[in-house]
Amino acid sequence: MEKALNRQRVLLDHLRPSSSSSFSDDSSSLSASACLAGDSAAYHRTNVFGDDVVIVAAHRTAICKSKRGGFKDTYADDILAPVLKALIEKTNLNPNEVGDIVVGTVLAPGSQRASECRMAAFYAGFPETVPVRTVNRQCSSGLQAVADVAAAIRAGFYDIGIGAGLESMTLNPMAWEGSVNPKVKIFEQAQNCLLPMGITSENVAHRFGVSRQQQDQAAVESHRRAAAATAAGKFKDEIIPVATKIVDPKTGEEKPVTISVDDGFRPNASLSDLAKLKPVFKKDGSTTAGNSSQVSDGAGAVLLMKRSVAEKKGLPILGVFRTFAAVGVDPAIMGVGPAVAIPAAVKAAGLELDDIDLFEINEAFASQFVYCRNKLELDPEKINVNGGALAIGHPLGATGARCVATLLHEMKRRGKDCRFGVISMCIGTGMGAAAVFERGGHTDELCNARKIETNNLLSKDAR
């Protein structure tokens, strides 16, 4: 109540007539001042009152190569359960307090995967009273799950929730089941929803002039950064080791293993090696296995809660969920999605692109990654600083949650020099998604994202 009263006093100070004027004067009885909300009324500054949404933990499994990597013989629910369990163990949270678990997942049959996620929650120690559901917005599903939980907390449905992501591309390869509606032939955009993702990559490269060399260079840099980050131990805080098994395909012998390191990146990737690879989707194209994201297995999970609840529990705040945007684009060039979604999410946060210190942009294909980076004129040194999907892999439903863990742990390492971060990805059938996060220790009480340099009396949104 004291905080609410204080807010009223601040507002009344703005509205109080100046001492030299009276209501009978011709001049205004109110004295104006620069808006203390900063330069954007849209930017939600609610941490003072404890009602914004914060992330207190974000973890992931290692990301492993589909059919050949560390999770090739692991059930999907056994991939998800360890990261769910880690959220509870590392925060000492009573699992009974979780209002919902939302899991982004793409390829598995809906009812089966929903059951597997519920099973994983039980393995992880959650009681039957904690509900579980899945969400599917293709490649953004993991991020969508986090956004859905944040929205539910803001709406007051519950105070604590988990947004997660899961994919086993070993168990559930990309395939279309059943026949296709013949009506699709008379709707070009609907027909383009059926294009192989590699063809959409070729369309982006051709339409926007992204060369094969640019694509290969992006892939080499992604592998270099992922290898360097792994060698430096940068992923240790975010990766949860998973005890599982590897089965010898020839003998059937099972070997117990613990998977704790991404196994898809190639430290020695070079332009000369990638140049030898032939195009996969188009005879004279430029999209190859080397400059496309890997098909992968993995999971991630993010624990969100209302700030006042986190503070009452004494939990350290890893990050703050600010905004989310999903947009639609031409299905034939679906890879351009981040170039549209990022500005939308950043604007909704009352920020500008220059305010963003780090980006995690999913590298579905090098063609679309390079296009989006160039279109938005982003500094390459701010993007995927620890490598991206070209090296680490892209387990479709898990990628969004994986990116949240990677981004927030990197922002924490950088400290006061890193305030805002963005996660974005393109989405099959022609969409894009993006979310803005703020480093947990960097929110302020009375001023906004950027200070007004001139006394123009209004926020820019009111002009």
426 is catalytic: yes
Catalytic residue among 35, 64, 117, 426: 426
| Cα separations in angstroms, 160 against 94, 407, 427 | 11, 21, 28
| Cα–Cα distance, 359 to 372 (Å, whole number) | 12
Under DSSP, the state recorded for 434 is E
Pair 412, 357: CB distance under 8 Å: no
- For residue 293, which of 194, 384, 188, 164 has the smallest C-alpha distance? 384
Catalytic residue among 64, 139, 403, 418: 139
206 is catalytic: no
Q: Tell me which amino acid residue 113 is.
A: R
Can you give 182-232 as a three-state secondary structure string? HHHHHCHHHHHCCCCHHHHHHHHHHHHCCCHHHHHHHHHHHHHHHHHHHHC
139 is catalytic: yes
Does the CA dihedral 231-65-387-58 come out positive or negative?
Answer: negative
For 19, other C-beta atoms within 10 Å of its C-beta total 7
Pair 102, 145: CB distance under 8 Å: yes
Catalytic residue among 44, 394, 403, 418: 394
- For residue 333, which of 359, 361, 365, 362 has the smallest C-alpha distance? 365
- For residue 385, which of 270, 222, 264, 267 has the smallest C-alpha distance? 222
- For residue 325, which of 354, 346, 306, 356 has the smallest C-alpha distance? 346
| Cα–Cα distance, 260 to 237 (Å, whole number) | 11
Task: Name the residues annotated as catalytic.
Answer: 139, 394, 426
